[in-house]
């Protein structure tokens, strides 16, 4: 009998063919128990007896029942006789709480019975394994079936149920399935179940970290925990530091899921079954999840397509019909009943202007596989003003019979319309920039340099250059050599300070230089790094040249002013100097810098100042210039005369702001004039000598007669007091008269006062006559004086006016006397009268000497013009007189009257 047959016999509960000899006790591999009739154990033999728990009370017979596990009691009810002929499966108490599973039968043995038993523990184990495996398989099948068929919405619930089933079947307190998270980066508890009294090890969605990756993932792993020591300390944490069991699930890409069982230990024998179970759970779960994700994506895509007005289209390789996504079909052709369209009908949906192009590009896609990308308008009569634009793109996929043409259409009306508006605005802006007199430019920042990127179109008309010509090197070349440093500094400053304003010369294509005003700003990115410079070139050539010219002419004028022999200054209306040139400074014996702040008034007498201020006050924008001779009293210096010309500068309101003055020292001229006047005066005196002699002679004669008469009386002895005193009185009168003449002569002969004084011109007439009248009368000239009858004041020098009148009367006398030689019966006279109006007084001196030859009238005021014989006339009288009258602001004029010459001295009233 082979061991295999024996095994089957045992399995089937067949008694062995050859009964064991009752008399001898062979070394039996099983268990042989002798019992008495009551079923009490008499003796135990066989190898298995050592595995039984021994009963120490050996004196008493122990019933077989005491050796057996509780559930075996049912098998041996009653007495052994009842058990005969039956297969008996008995489980004995083994060591350490284990059980010894046996199968045997009873056979009579003497008065008692012999129980022959074989160990069937391994058989049972096998069966149990088979059972377990079957349960595994059944459960696996159920699980994957449930997962496969459930709806996606119920999927989480079904996963829960499945975990629950696993927990129940295998008595696992905590069970969970962990999957890779969405980003495939770490493990995450997808779903978990725990028995109601089990501790909470995991939560749904909990991240487990990378500890799981340290496991191979090819076989289940047990986590054992002995006295705080563990092989996988990090994993142990996940399992609450208790026992754990992890089952991997691998797919094509590696480990895709872990089944986690907490507080659980599976037998190694079932490793494969657990793998299978994990696979049954994870594989369909993952697939369903993928399906779910796919579905979500489809939903999203559909929503997106709906929102964007986009959708796919597909054209089979050789087909004529085009398939459209439902949303797209809704947009394009809502009335069409189907999403399939004939190609020709599809093309008809587009605007005729775009149709041809689209058809041609589709052809290229079909035949050459050239990717299609174009924008087209829909052909809608109602949308003429606001066209609907679509972007159509397509490509060929696959080869041979699998070749398909697919693409999408996207509604880009918004973008397109905006683009068109932007393009229009851009064009307008371009136009504006191009027509601006400025060049707008952009320079890109490249490693510390700025390189031309853009120039507005105005570059061409201004410099004759194009953007293409503007390389960094050529730009430097066009710069004026003198301005290159300026340009480099401009770039440095721009990079340093972010903005710059500079001016330099750039050559145009024809070789002419343009002054460009450059204003640039640096644009930076979010990090503050320079990106580009935007700037403006303004052609300021004309302005710059004009400014240059102004500067040059200013310089010329400055030199002119400085080098001029004339004294030039500027002063404020209060007579404070603001500027004076070197000649003025030299004159005043100071430095030009000391001139400002000096005041002109300091050098003027009160009178002069008053008239100066009055004169300046009369300046107006219409009559801005005034000239006068002013006299100055410079401290410690001789009296000076300046011919002074003022020009007023006015503000926009016509108020005087400043006066620019040019002066010339006239002192020398003045002095010689004075000397001339003086000599002329002396000459006059000389000429008057005869008259004067007569003037003095007259009283002398009177006195001589009176003295002679008195003497005659005295000698005749008839002297009466009255007579004497009358004669002496006459003499006294004559002495006084002579003294007056001499006095006046002395006064007249003196030099004139320096400053003009107001006086009554009648004074001068009186003085003249006091000197001349007697003399004239002596010569037989009748002096006819018409008394003025008014008093007025003129300004000047009374002696000089007297000199003028003397000249006129002496000239008249000479003319009369020479006339009388020709015409002895002439009764010569000189008439003097005066008149005045609001502004002037006029003194007329007229004679009956026959007048002046009209041809000479114009020349008589010239110096040294005389018709008198040499030694008699000087020719100075009238010219000096003219100067004197003019100096007093008046005018000396002559005309021929009825009888002779008529001179008129006209003087302004003071």
Site residues, ligand ADP (CB under 6 A): 807, 811-812, 815, 847, 849, 852, 860, 865-868, 873-875, 877-878, 900-901
User: Between residues 144 and 874, which has the closer beta carbon with respect to ligand ADP?
Assistant: 874
Which is nearer to ligand ADP, 174 or 843 (by Cβ)? Answer: 843
464 to 8, 460, 478, 534: CA distances (angstroms): 114, 4, 12, 21
How far is it, in rounded angstroms, from Cα 359 to Cα 365? 10
CB of 820 vs ligand ADP, minimal distance in Å: 13
Nearer to ligand ADP, 810 or 841 (CB): 810
Torsion of CA 600, 606, 610, 613, to 10 degrees: 10
> 324 or 804, CB closer to ligand ADP?
804
Which of residues 631 and 902 has its CB atom nearest to ligand ADP in the complex? 902
Provide the token pair at 504.
């330099």
Backbone angles phi, psi at 619, to 5 degrees: -65, 145
Comparison of 645 and 896: residue with beta carbon closer to ligand ADP: 896
Query: Closest approach of Cβ 680 to ligand ADP, in Å?
Result: 9
To the nearest whole angstrom, how small is the minimum distance from the Cβ of residue 609 to ligand ADP? 37
Max CA distance (Å), the chain: 250
Please state the closest distance from residue 851 (CB atom) to ligand ADP, in A: 6
Q: For residue 343, list its beta bridge partners.
A: none
Complex with ligand ADP: residue 354 or 847, whichever CB lies closer? 847
Nearer Cβ to ligand ADP, position 80 or 900? 900
* Strands across the sheet containing 656-665: 577-580, 567-571, 656-665, 640-650, 625-632
Smaller CB separation from ligand ADP, 464 or 873: 873
State the number of CA atoms in the 13 A half-sphere of 746 facing the CB: 6
Of all helices (H) and strands (E), which one includes residue 745? helix 721-749
Rounded distance, CA 832 to CA 718, Å? 48
Q: For residues 393 and 414, what is the distance between their CA atoms, to the nearest angstrom? A: 18
Nearer to ligand ADP, 287 or 867 (CB): 867
Q: How far is the CB of 864 from ligand ADP (least distance, A)?
A: 8
CA distances from 831 to 599, 781, 792, 843, 902 (A): 50, 10, 20, 10, 9
Residue 200: CA count within 13 A, CB half-sphere: 3
Least distance between ligand ADP and beta carbon 764 (Å) = 18
For residue 776, the minimal CB distance to ligand ADP (Å) is: 13
Q: Which residue has the tokens 């006050």?
A: 617
Q: Closest approach of Cβ 575 to ligand ADP, in Å?
A: 41
Q: Which of 847, 836, 840 is nearest to 895 (CA)?
A: 847
Tokens of 620: 């107006």
| Rounded Cα–Cα distance for residues 808 and 127 (Å) | 177
Strand pairing partners for 312?
408
CA atoms within 13 A on the CB side of 223: 27
| Paired tokens of 848 | 């009956």
* CA 56 distance to own-chain centroid: 108
Q: Could you please report the per-residue DSSP string of 770-830? A: HHHHHHHHHTT-EEEE----S---EEE-HHHHHHHHHHHHHHHHHHHHHHHHH-TT---EE
Task: Tell me how far, at minimum, the Cβ of 883 lies from ligand ADP, in Å.
Answer: 12
Minimum CB distance to ligand ADP smaller for 579 or for 865: 865
Query: Cβ of residue 811: shortest distance to ligand ADP, in angstroms?
Result: 3
Shortest Cβ distance from residue 847 to ligand ADP (Å)? Answer: 5
Nearer to ligand ADP, 275 or 810 (CB): 810
For the chain, give percent helix, strand, coil, nearest 5. 45, 25, 30
573 vs 875, beta carbon nearer ligand ADP = 875
User: From the CB of 841, what's the least distance to ligand ADP, in Å?
Assistant: 21
Least CB distance from residue 882 to ligand ADP, whole Å? 9
- In the complex, minimum distance from the CB of residue 667 to ligand ADP, in angstroms, rounded to a whole number: 26
Cβ of residue 812: shortest distance to ligand ADP, in angstroms? 4
Cα 553 from chain centre:
39
The CA distance from 59 to 587, in Å, is 166
Q: Which of 246, 278, 280, 282 has the alpha carbon at shortest distance from 262?
A: 246
Nearer to ligand ADP, 756 or 874 (CB): 874
Min separation Cβ 807 and ligand ADP, Å: 6
User: Helices (H) and strands (E) in the chain — how many of each?
Assistant: 21, 35
Do 568 and 561 meet the contact criterion of CB atoms below 8 Å apart? yes
Question: Read out DSSP for 122-169?
Answer: HHHHHHHHHHHHHHHHHHHHHHHHHHHHS-GGGHHHHHHHHHHHHHHH
Q: Which is nearer to ligand ADP, 196 or 864 (CB)?
A: 864
Among residues 624 and 897, whose Cβ is nearest to ligand ADP? 897
Among 71, 68, 54, 49, CA closest to 119: 49
Cβ pair 889, 879 in contact under 8 A: no
Based on CB atoms, which residue is closest to ligand ADP, 767 or 849?
A: 849
Q: Which two tokens stand for residue 412?
A: 């880009």
Decide: helix, strand or coil at residue 84.
Answer: coil
Minimum distance of ligand ADP from residue 856's CB (angstroms): 7
Smallest separation (angstroms) from ligand ADP to the CB of 877: 3
Please tell me the distance from the alpha carbon of residue 158 to that of residue 169, in angstroms, as a whole number: 16
Question: Residue 878 and residue 859: Cα distance in Å, rounded?
Answer: 10
* Pick 257 or 815: Cβ nearer ligand ADP: 815
Count of Cβ atoms closer than 10 Å to residue 521 Cβ: 13
């Amino acid at each position: 009998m082979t061991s295999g047959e024996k095994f089957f016999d045992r399995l089937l509960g067949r008694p062995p063919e050859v009964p064991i000899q009752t008399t001898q006790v062979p070394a039996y591999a099983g268990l042989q128990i002798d019992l008495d009739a009551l079923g009490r154990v008499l003796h135990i033999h066989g190898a298995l007896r050592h595995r039984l728990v021994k009963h120490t009370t050996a004196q008493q017979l122990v019933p077989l029942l005491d050796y057996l596990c509780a559930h075996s009691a049912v098998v041996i009810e009653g007495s052994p006789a009842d058990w005969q002929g039956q297969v008996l499966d008995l489980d004995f108490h083994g060591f350490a709480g284990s059980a010894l599973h046996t199968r045997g039968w009873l056979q009579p043995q003497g008065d008692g019975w012999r129980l022959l038993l074989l160990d069937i523990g391994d058989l049972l184990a096998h069966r149990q394994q088979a059972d377990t495996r079957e349960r595994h398989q059944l459960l696996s099948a159920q699980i994957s079936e449930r997962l496969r068929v459930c709806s996606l919405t119920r999927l989480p619930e079904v996963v829960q149920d499945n975990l629950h089933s696993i927990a129940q079947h295998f008595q696992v307190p905590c069970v969970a399935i962990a999957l890779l998270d969405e980003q495939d980066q770490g493990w995450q508890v997808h779903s978990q179940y725990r028995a109601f009294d089990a501790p909470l090890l995991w939560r749904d969605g909990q991240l487990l970290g990378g500890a799981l990756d340290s496991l191979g993932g090819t076989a289940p792993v047990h986590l054992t925990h002995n006295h705080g020591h563990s092989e996988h300390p990090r994993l142990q944490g996940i399992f609450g530091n208790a026992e754990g069991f992890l089952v991997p699930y691998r797919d094509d890409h590696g480990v895709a899921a872990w089944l986690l069982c907490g507080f659980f230990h599976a037998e190694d024998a079932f490793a494969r079954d657990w793998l299978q179970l994990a696979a049954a759970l994870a594989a369909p779960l993952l697939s369903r999840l993928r399906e779910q994700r796919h579905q979500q994506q489809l939903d999203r895509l559909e929503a997106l397509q709906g929102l964007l007005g986009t959708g796919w289209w597909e054209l089979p390789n050789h087909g004529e019909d085009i398939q459209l996504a439902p949303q797209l079909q809704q947009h394009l052709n809502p009335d069409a009943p189907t999403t399939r369209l004939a190609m020709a009908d599809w093309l008809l949906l587009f605007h005729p202007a775009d149709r041809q192009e689209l058809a041609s590009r589709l052809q290229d896609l079909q035949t050459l596989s050239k990717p299609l990308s174009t924008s087209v308008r829909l052909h809608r009569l109602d949308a003429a003003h606001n066209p609907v634009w679509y972007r159509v793109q397509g490509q060929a996929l696959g080869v041979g019979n699998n070749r398909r043409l697919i693409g999408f259409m996207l509604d880009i009306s918004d973008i397109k319309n905006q683009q068109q508006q932007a393009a229009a605005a851009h064009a307008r802006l371009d136009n504006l920039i191009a027509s601006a007199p400025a060049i707008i430019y952009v320079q890109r920042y490249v490693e510390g340099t700025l390189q031309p990127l853009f120039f507005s179109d105005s570059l061409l008309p201004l410099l004759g250059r194009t953007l293409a010509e503007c390389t960094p090197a050529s730009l430097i070349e066009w710069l004026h050599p003198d301005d290159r440093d300026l340009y480099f500094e401009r770039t440095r400053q721009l990079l340093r300070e972010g903005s710059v304003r500079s001016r330099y010369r750039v050559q145009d294509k024809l070789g002419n230089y343009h002054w460009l005003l450059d204003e640039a700003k640096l644009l930076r990115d979010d990090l503050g790094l320079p990106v580009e410079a935007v700037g403006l070139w303004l052609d300021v050539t004309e302005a710059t040249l004009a400014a240059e010219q102004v500067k040059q002419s200013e310089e010329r004028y400055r030199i002119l002013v400085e080098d001029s022999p004339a004294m030039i200054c500027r002063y404020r209306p209060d007579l404070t100097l603001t500027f004076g040139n070197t000649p003025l400074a030299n004159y005043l014996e100071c430095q030009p810098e000391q001139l400002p702040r000096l005041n002109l008034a300091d050098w003027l007498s009160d009178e002069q100042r008053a008239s100066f201020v009055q004169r300046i006050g009369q300046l107006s924008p219409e009559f801005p210039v005034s000239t006068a001779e002013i006299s100055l009293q410079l401290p410690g210096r001789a009296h000076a005369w300046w011919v002074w010309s003022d020009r007023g500068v006015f503000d926009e309101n016509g108020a005087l702001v400043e006066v620019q003055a040019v002066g010339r020292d006239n002192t020398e001229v003045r002095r010689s004039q004075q000397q001339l006047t003086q000599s002329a005066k002396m000459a006059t005196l000389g000429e008057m000598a005869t008259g004067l002699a007569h003037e003095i002679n007259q009283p002398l004669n009177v006195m001589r007669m009176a003295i002679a008469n008195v003497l005659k009386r005295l000698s005749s002895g008839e002297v009466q007091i009255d007579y004497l005193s009358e004669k002496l009185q006459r003499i006294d009168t004559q002495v006084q008269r002579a003294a007056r003449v001499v006095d006046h002569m002395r006064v007249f002969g003196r030099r004139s006062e320096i400053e003009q004084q107001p006086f009554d011109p009648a004074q001068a007439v009186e003085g003249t006559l006091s000197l001349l009248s007697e003399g004239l009368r002596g010569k037989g000239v009748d002096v006819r004086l018409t008394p003025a009858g008014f008093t007025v004041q003129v300004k000047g020098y009374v002696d000089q006016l007297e000199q003028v009148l003397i000249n006129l009367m002496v000239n008249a006398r000479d003319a009369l006397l020479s006339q009388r030689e020709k015409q002895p019966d002439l009764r010569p006279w000189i008439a003097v009268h005066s008149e005045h109006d609001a502004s002037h007084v006029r003194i007329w001196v007229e004679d009956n000497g026959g007048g002046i030859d009209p041809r000479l009238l114009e020349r008589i005021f010239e110096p040294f013009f005389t018709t008198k014989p040499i030694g008699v006339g000087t020719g100075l009288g009238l010219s000096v007189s003219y100067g004197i009258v003019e100096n007093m602001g008046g005018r000396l004029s002559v005309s021929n009257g009825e009888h002779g010459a008529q001179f008129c001295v006209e003087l302004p009233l003071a």
